[in-house]
Structure 1
């Protein structure tokens, strides 16, 4: 009986020490917009769903996702705020990637701290936040079906 009690106590202690995944919220932050002298502020979109895709100008998979993000922005940009948040610290590499790939979606930069706070560990990393700015769907990494999956989910929430 003591062994069972000790095993259960150890299991409870281990479970208490484990970090449970948290559903991130959008929070309040401001990032500069590439190619503009203005900034994007998350609180400006309260009451509106937001899709953020974390990217890097150096990331080949992020560049492959750009047409998907532009398509989502073209189809749902009126109902959902869609932005690309580049981890690059400076605007120059972001502007170059945007121009090179004819990327039309609003491109933010210097998003490394925001990505870290949301525990982004791979790129591209797409997060959809609902009207209350709670994360409701996430994708990490690139797949050929990513564009269709994003489209289908945005169609469902924008009804």
Structure 2
């Protein structure tokens, strides 16, 4: 009986040790998911800093004017932006990896997309580990990255679900 009790005690200690380590690992991952501040210019020449939106849910849509998948996704993002315009949700387009002479702000306006557009976002894309377009990053009110997606489906229900999560 003492042997069984010892095995149970050792097993419990090992399990607690594993749970503690898993919790520490999860905490480290949460810290790594903090959205890094950056500063860029809008397409109309205004300064934009992510920290100015602290406490608000933010969606960063990384895209390029030449990207056919971005063109497909953007009407869905615009629809969501309009659906949630009564909230404090911020939807920001960040143009990167552009061809010479591209005019991202005008390209979006020509498509009927009115989200704030930031230009020359190559360094910010690197900062966030973005390698392809489109990539959409969802940042919660505490400044943590809640979700990232490469979907180009404008009707992807997960986009709306992610926004609802951010707005809690």
Q: In which range does the TM-score fall when normalised by the shorter chain?
A: 0.7 to 0.9
Q: What's 1:124 paired with?
A: 134
1:64 equivalent in structure 2: 72
Query: How far did 1:102 drift?
Result: 1.5
Matches of 1:129 and 1:68, distance apart in 2:
18
Which residue in 2 is equivalent to 1:158? 167
Of 134, 146, 149 in structure 2, the residue corresponding to residue 139 of structure 1 is: 149
Contact kept in structure 1, 2:134 and 2:151, CA below 8 Å: yes
Q: Which residue of 2 aligns with 1:32?
A: 41
Counterpart-to-counterpart distance in 2, 1:89 and 1:33 = 17
Unmatched tracts of structure 1, length 5 or more: 1-19
* Partner in structure 2 of residue 6 of structure 1: none
Q: Is the 8 A contact 1:91 1:109 kept in 2?
A: no
Cα RMSD, aligned residues only: 2.3
1:86 aligned residue (66, 91, 95)? 95
SS in 2 for 1:53: strand
Using the size of structure 2 for normalisation, the TM-score is: 0.72
2:143 pairs with 1:100: no
Alignment pair present for 1:114 and 2:124: yes
CA distance in 1, matches of 2:100, 2:36: 23
Higher Rg = 2
- 2-structure distance, mates of 1:91, 1:28: 27
For residues 140 and 127 of structure 2, what CA distance do their matches in structure 1 show?
A: 18
1:93, 1:38 → 2: CA distance? Answer: 15
| TM-score (normalizing by structure 1) | 0.76
CA distance in 1: counterparts of 2:106 and 2:100, whole angstroms: 11
* 2:61 paired with 1:48: no
Count of residues paired in the alignment: 137
